[in-house]
Amino acid sequence: MPYPLNIYGFPQAILHLDANAFFASVEQAVNPELKGKPVVVGKERGIVTAVSYEGKALGIKRGMTIVEVQKKFPKTIILESDYERYSLFSLKMFDILKKICPVVEEYSIDEAFADLQGLRGYLHLSYEEIGSKIKEDIKSTLGITVSIGISLTKVLAKIASNHRKPDGLTLISGREIHHYLKDLPVSEVWGIGPQRAALCEKLGIYSALDLASASEEFIKRHFPKPVYEIWLELRGIQVYPVVPFTKDKYKSISKALSFHPTQDIEFLLAQLSFNLERACFKARQYGLLAKGVIIFIKDEEFQTQSLEIKLSHPSAYPKEILPLLKEGMDLIYREGIKFRQVGVILTDLISESERATQLHLFRVNPSSTDKDLKSLYRAVDKINIKYGRTTLVHGVSLPVTKEKPLKKGSSLRIPFLSVRLS
């Protein structure tokens, strides 16, 4: 079968990255005791939303009920989902990818496409070396594995990343396309759903190769335009570009604590300050800065008041943000009403490296206060990680730390934190 591009080598390339059993892998990365064990996520919904490879090997599948898993596979570790944690891992993972390949389309929380065109010369690396470097950087920083596929088009790159899992790296050049398509059921091609697969089978098309080998005239006569586009992509002709795009909905960190209803403003401010410290600590662990902050308070009747604050520059330092939150609190606090919860959400998170590039672009040097704050909080974080998270807090937060003792060293296990501290 003729592929017009194969004789010219591999001029254009698209990379597809897919994290393996993402939610379960993140849990295993954060808690090494879970490594090598069947782990399932989704306890709170009663349905399996992710399964570790060890669990898949036993036969556990997504969509099974938790009760079924408990009955059939009693040794399985069953966890509640922590979407915020997965989102932050996702953010960090795409950040690593973007450092190597600037043009990245975040397709879902654990999948992305990157355009590799022109990068070989720029990085002095082959496509294979680019793929290996991304895999290694993600593994060493986050402690999770990803599968990578590289080929001429998005549809082929997805077939490539799916080819070997977990921890795979597969390149499909133009001259090899048919090897990868011949045993692939047409229903597994990206974009061919069950209905189109049924139509294909009616027309005698069973494998992806059958589809790719059909004539243009045949495809146009029997199928709608999207299938024609997939047909082109299967033949190595790019139809779908990589569209750099970030899903902002994942980019927030929230911290909130409930307590016995009170109108004590000192106590409420302490809660606000402590939640801010916890949220900022988390942001710093992931190398993130917030461009906005939302504060909210919930009264006895469960009515919520909230206020959004835009920061003049991205920050993860309570010392800078706290004075603004106090002003905000004055606006939403109502005298004579008892409150039961105070919370803080850091929004519009960006990575420190993005911030650094921005500073560079505008030729502004980070001010000395910026650097001072950074080293101050680095020292604070080290102490709190070692001796417990309430060892060093802002004065305003003190009433909270007296309220109840908190567990020690609960954040020690985030894998990339240890990298940052070393």
Catalytic residues: 111
Range in contact with Mg ion (rule: CB under 5 A) among 12-20, 296-304, 342-350, 360-368: 12-20
106 lies in the binding site for Mg ion (CB under 5 A):
no
**Of the ranges 106-114, 163-171, 209-217, 413-421, which one interacts with Mg ion (CB under 5 A)?**
106-114
Based on CB atoms, which residue is closest to Mg ion, 18 or 229? 18
Least distance from Mg ion to the Cβ atom of residue 22, Å: 5
Identify the residue among 18, 27, 95, 233 touching Mg ion (CB under 5 A). Answer: 18
Which of 56/291 has CB closer to Mg ion?
56
User: Least separation, in Å, of the C-beta of 100 and Mg ion?
Assistant: 19
Residue 210 touching Mg ion (CB under 5 A): no
Q: Supply the minimum distance, in Å, between the C-beta of residue 165 and Mg ion.
A: 8
110 binds Mg ion (CB under 5 A): yes
Binding segment for Mg ion among 11-19, 32-40, 46-54, 271-279 (CB under 5 A)?
11-19
Q: Nearest distance from residue 42's CB to Mg ion, in Å?
A: 15
- 3-class DSSP string for the chain: CCCCCHHHCCCCCEEEEEECCHHHHHHHHHCHHHCCCCEEECHHHCECCEECHHHHHHCCCCCCEHHHHHHHCCCCEEECCCHHHHHHHHHHHHHHHHHHCCCEEEEECCEEEEECCCHHHHHCCCHHHHHHHHHHHHHHHHCCCEEEEEECCHHHHHHHHHHCCCCCEEECCHHHHHHHHCCCEHHHCCCCCHHHHHHHHHCCCCEHHHHHHCCHHHHHHHCCHHHHHHHHHHCCCCCCCCCCECCHHHCCEEEEEEEEEECCHHHHHHHHHHHHHHHHHHHHHCCEEEEEEEEEEEECCCCEEEEEEEEEEEECCHHHHHHHHHHHHHHHCCCCCCEEEEEEEEECCEEHHHHHHHHHHCCCCCCHHHHHHHHHHHHHHHHHHHHCCCCCCCHHHHHHHHHCCCCCCCCCCCHHHHHHHC
Residue closer to Mg ion by CB (options 101, 148) is 148
Looking at residues 327 to 346 of the shown chain, list those that interact with Mg ion (rule: CB under 5 A). Answer: none
Interface with Mg ion: number of residues (CB under 5 A)? 3
Nearer to Mg ion, 23 or 296 (CB): 23
Rank residues 19 and 152 by Cβ distance to Mg ion and give the closer one.
19
**From the CB of 21, what's the least distance to Mg ion, in Å?**
7
Which residues of this protein are in contact with Mg ion, per CB under 5 A? 18-19, 110
